[in-house]
Amino acid sequence: MKRCLLTALFLLLILPTIGQAEDRWDIKTLDTYQVLSDASIDSSILLDGIKADVYETTGLQEGYYKIDFNGVQGFIHSSQASTLFEQERMSFKVVEDQIPYYIMTKGKLVQKGTLLKEAVLTRTKTASVYHLVEVGKEVYYIPLAGTIPTTEPIIDTSKKAKYPMKLYNRDEVPIYNKQLIQIATLSANQSVDLIALEKSKGVIYFLGQEARINMNDFVHMDLLQPKKVLTYEEMTYLLQVVATLYPEFTKLEQIGKSVEGTPMYAMKIGNGKKEVLLDGSLHAREHMTTNVVVEMIDTYSIHYKNKSVYGGYNVRETLDQTAIWFIPMMNPDGVKLVQSGPKSLKNGALATKINGSTNFNRWKSNIRGVDLNDNFASGWDKITGGHKKPAYMAYKGPSAFSEPESQAFRDFVKKHKFKTYISYHSSGQIMYWFNYQKQAESKRDQALAKTLSKLTGYKVMPPQYLPGSGASADWFIQQTKMPGITLEISPYVGDIPVPLSKWDAIWRQNNKVGLYLAQEASKR
């Protein structure tokens, strides 16, 4: 019992010291200075100092350092002393309401923003009257004046961006710490590297520590480097970034889930009352079509924000008459199967059994072997040929709309009044437009296909007169009486994904397709 009482007494004695430890630091005075009895120029003078001296201070009060002077509290004006930063104390805290921070450009310090009170940073070293904070190849200069040493922990900066993206601010914007307390401002026309998203906030590294930004304070240039294999995960992240950057003219909506429960997303750009629809990757191996659709989102959104012209189209004017909805990946499980193999999915073993091989380059179906472009109800029961059981392609399923992916598309279309639908596929540089339209509709749709042919260089295929179809575009034509076009990118490459070497030409051929469709639909 006595030991417990002694321990408690000891803790009571040391706890105040522990609590104050981070607020104690050394200051060095000028050659002449005054110690006053209060934080006021009118208070009594306790000492007229005639040589520089070092004191331990317990904090700042109204511009005065507080010190212990011969057993009583004394005050030294901050203009008469400066903080001493010991080499081993590499962290510092801002104690003024705000102080500037700079970078060196052509031998001159250029202000990049301000740090606010309570901001805590880690310095690399000091130089003259500045802390130097090195972040990569950049060195930031922060005045010693207005800062104090601190033992407060710095947030770990080891987190790396899985999908690096650069953002830009056009005006001065706030920077927050992890607790969403503002710690700084960033001057106009700077760039930051986005690390991650947290709801409407972006995670960045600011002067060597993790920080937060308001996403809609920023814009992007090129979020996607499209000449690569684009995964579902990166695609989804990019859509979320665009949606949080531009909530005023975009909308991100989950329209359903795949067989494996993977969310399927649609994104709208523009505020037009009329709408058109484009999708990609209905067939798994044709995943370069996702790149086409996502690059449209990337490109059109920044031109909308900038009120600029792209490909001869005033993007904002065009999309505020007719908005574009994009479904970048209709078959996420199938795409993942082709890109990452069967071990990446719960039903991978089933797909391997269906395929008869672990090489899925030829795979078009969803994860359970249903060809989604044979699963729509446009004379589905009259489809002839194809496989009679689950296969890598051309199995129409046990019934029309048996698959959650085709159901999601059907339900989404029925909620809207789309003027046009483009279903992107590969390969062959051809397009299909016909599904027994009436004469006026047939004339309209063929004219649209011919204009798209001029735009892309792709060949318009003659009517097929199939007895039945399960294609999404054919169902769309039948359901809405509006144009539905299947557009096959790339020269024919056979039963494999389109090689990345084809990308540059594909984008040149298709970069204006969405804007043309929006403009054309505005006239109907």
Sheet containing strand 130-135, strands side by side:
125-127, 130-135, 138-143, 98-105, 108-116, 182-186, 173-176, 209-214, 201-206, 190-198, 165-169, 218-220
- The pLDDT value recorded for residue 12 is 37
Per-residue pLDDT of the chain (524 residues), as tens digits, is 444 443 433 333 333 333 334 468 888 999 999 999 999 999 999 999 999 999 999 888 888 999 999 999 999 998 899 888 876 557 888 988 899 999 999 999 999 999 998 888 888 888 888 999 888 788 999 998 888 888 776 655 557 889 999 999 999 999 999 899 999 999 999 999 999 999 899 999 888 788 999 999 999 999 999 999 999 999 999 999 999 999 999 999 999 999 999 999 999 999 999 999 999 999 999 999 999 999 999 999 999 999 999 999 999 999 999 999 999 999 999 999 999 999 999 999 999 999 999 999 999 999 999 999 999 999 999 998 899 999 999 999 999 999 999 999 999 999 999 999 999 999 999 999 999 999 999 999 999 999 999 999 999 999 999 999 999 999 999 999 999 999 999 999 999 999 999 999 999 999 999 999 999 999 99
- The pLDDT value recorded for residue 95 is 86
At the top level of CATH, the class of 23-83 is: mainly beta
The boundaries of every CATH 3.40.630.10 domain in the chain are 232-337+409-521
520, 449 Cβ separation under 8 angstroms: no
At the top level of CATH, the class of 91-149 is: mainly beta
Q: What CATH number belongs to 232-337+409-521?
A: 3.40.630.10
310, 303 Cβ separation under 8 angstroms: yes
| Residue 290 burial (CB count, 10 A) | 28
Q: CA-to-CA distance for 351 and 285, rounded, in angstroms? A: 14
Q: Specify the pTM.
A: 0.85
The active-site residue, picked from 275, 403, 488, 520, is 488
| Residue 16 burial (CB count, 10 A) | 9
488: annotated active-site residue: yes
User: Taking CA 511 as the corner, what is the angle to CA 509 and CA 513, rounded to the nearest 5 degrees?
Assistant: 85
CATH (one of 2.60.40.10, 3.40.220.10, 2.40.50.100, 2.30.30.40) for 165-220? 2.30.30.40
The boundaries of every CATH 2.30.30.40 domain in the chain are 23-83, 165-220
216, 246 Cβ separation under 8 angstroms: yes
